[in-house]
Structure 1
Amino acid sequence: MKKIATSLLLVLVFIGCQQGVTKTDITKLNGYWEIEKVVRPQGEDKVYGINESFDYFQVDTAGIGIRQKVMPQLNGRFLTNDTHEDVRVKWRQNKTYIDYKTGYAKWSEEIVKLTDTELVLKNDQDKEYHYKKTEKIDLLGDGKTNP
């Protein structure tokens, strides 16, 4: 009986120590994210090698902001257009979601994991999108600071 109680206590402690995304974590979304792979519910992974575009997030401490596709250039700058998605981070049923909105559509993705270097999002089809944080690429090495 003592072993069962000890085992149950350990399980509860383990579950209690698992933390979801908190409000203070939200600004970790800010920056450039490069997709590494998509995990499909059937178990097939699609691994990405070289990416021509990154996802750029800019959100405030309230979780309101934008996501925009950007294309890195060799000089450390990015090509972009004026198209972006409005984003709002929400908490529902003990989970954290990013609600997206454009002039044409609305959708949500669950934030499964968010750290300083890793982002995992899950859509309504149970596909998981795994991203790594990335930086500007400056292969020209001209020493200039690029915005």
Structure 2
Amino acid sequence: MKKVFFLLFLGTLLQSCASDTSREKIDNLNGYWEITKAELPEGIIKEFKFSELVDYIKVDSTAGFRKKVRPQLDGNFIASEDVEIFEVKVENDSINLYYSTPYTNWKETVISSEENELVVLNQDGIIYTYKRFTPYSGNYGQEDQ
């Protein structure tokens, strides 16, 4: 009987640690991300040396949005009118983002979400790697959204 209680306790402890890790990885999604490469399922790798658009991601609890912004030299951003809303779900130890727009629905799986790197896999098998955007000036984070 003691073994059963110990196993239940251990399982609960491990589950709470896993959810803390997931919460941190979800929180890491927040911010400005610049694409660095895309890896196609065929093994083709497309490197991005520079992109004039940056993805701004904001997550609150189990929902969030992504929009394209254009960094300005003064540290501000010009935001597009388009917004992609997503739902965050932790499924089988993976963080999945379920997007929904008036035109289509799709899913991305977060492979890695660190402080300075984000890697996601889309449903077509393409792996996108992003780095945290480095601002052009000291006014970082004052977006015009």
Give the TM-score category using the shorter length.
0.7 to 0.9
Q: Secondary structure at the match of 1:42?
A: coil
Alignment-derived partner of residue 34 in structure 1: 34
- Superposition deviation, residue 99 in structure 1: 0.9
C-alpha distance in 2, partners of 1:145/1:50? Answer: 18
C-alpha distance in 1, partners of 2:140/2:110? Answer: 33
- Superposition deviation, residue 36 in structure 1: 0.3
Runs of 4+ in 1 over 6 A off after TM superposition: 143-146
Q: Flag the 1:23–1:131 CA change in 2: closer, same or farther, 3 A.
A: same
Alignment-derived partner of residue 128 in structure 2: 129
C-alpha distance in 1, partners of 2:38/2:125? Answer: 10
Provide the alpha-carbon RMSD of the alignment: 2.0
- Superposition deviation, residue 137 in structure 1: 1.7
C-alpha distance in 2, partners of 1:117/1:124? Answer: 24
Range 48-57 or range 85-94, more displaced: 85-94
How many residues align? The count is 124
**TM-score normalized with structure 2 length:** 0.77
The share of aligned pairs that are identical, in percent, is 34
Q: Which amino acid aligns with 2:94?
A: K
Counting strand residues as a fraction of each chain, which structure ranks higher?
A: 2
Q: Which amino acid aligns with 1:130?
A: T
Is residue 72 from structure 1 mapped to residue 108 from structure 2 by the alignment? no
Q: Deviations over 1:77-124 (max 9, x none)?
A: 111122101111112233211111112211110100110111001011
Q: Flag the 1:106–1:144 CA change in 2: closer, same or farther, 3 A.
A: closer
C-alpha distance in 2, partners of 1:137/1:88? Answer: 31
Q: Deviations over 1:39-63 (max 9, x none)?
A: 1111110000110101100111x13
Unaligned runs of 5+ in 2: 1-17
Q: Deviations over 1:13-48 (max 9, x none)?
A: xxxxxx796123211111000000001111110000
Alignment-derived partner of residue 50 in structure 2: 50
Alignment-derived partner of residue 24 in structure 1: 24
